[in-house]
Copies of this chain bind each other. A is one copy, B any other.
Amino acid sequence: MSSSYASLTSALKQAGLRLTPQRLAICRFLAESREHPTAAMIYEHLRPEYPSLSAMTVYNTLKALVELGQVNALGDCGDDNVHYDADTSPHINLACISCHRIMDLPAPQIEALDGEISRASGYQLLGARLMFYGLCPDCQKTRVL
């Protein structure tokens, strides 16, 4: 389950940032998307509705949300693009190195890990990005490699 639209927008507001139409649209897309979008994907998706939208605004808003801990930057999944995840709860991201889709898997074990890692390392944990890589069922069929 992704961070809700409400939690994204209220985090921005609490940080003293204005809830502009552009920022609200970016939050809405992040909250509704299940596809771990890149900055470019967000920009292209919103452009029809906001023709004057600039890529800078997308980058700035993503940066703010990441710094507020509302969004994770997952990094690339073989396509050289940084993918973002509005679901910051501990879960496994499963990326296909062929079609570059990223799906989620619930992982109850991970929640338990958190406490153990803190204890073992002395770290103050702030977030996790758990990526497994492989070939999705579809790509296993079609892939020649």
Interface residues of A (CB under 8 A from B): 75-76, 92, 94, 96-97, 103, 105, 107, 109, 112-113, 117, 120-137, 140
A105 close to B117 (CB less than 8 A)? yes
Q: Contact check: which of B75, B126, B128, B130 meets A76 at CB < 8 Å?
A: B75
Residues of B within 8 A of A128 (CB): 130-133
B126 close to A134 (CB less than 8 A)? yes
Chain A binding surface SS class:
strand
Residue on B nearest A122 in the bound complex, by CB = B137
A136 close to B123 (CB less than 8 A)? yes
- Are A105 and B129 CB-contacts (below 8 A) given A75-B75, A75-B76, A76-B75? no
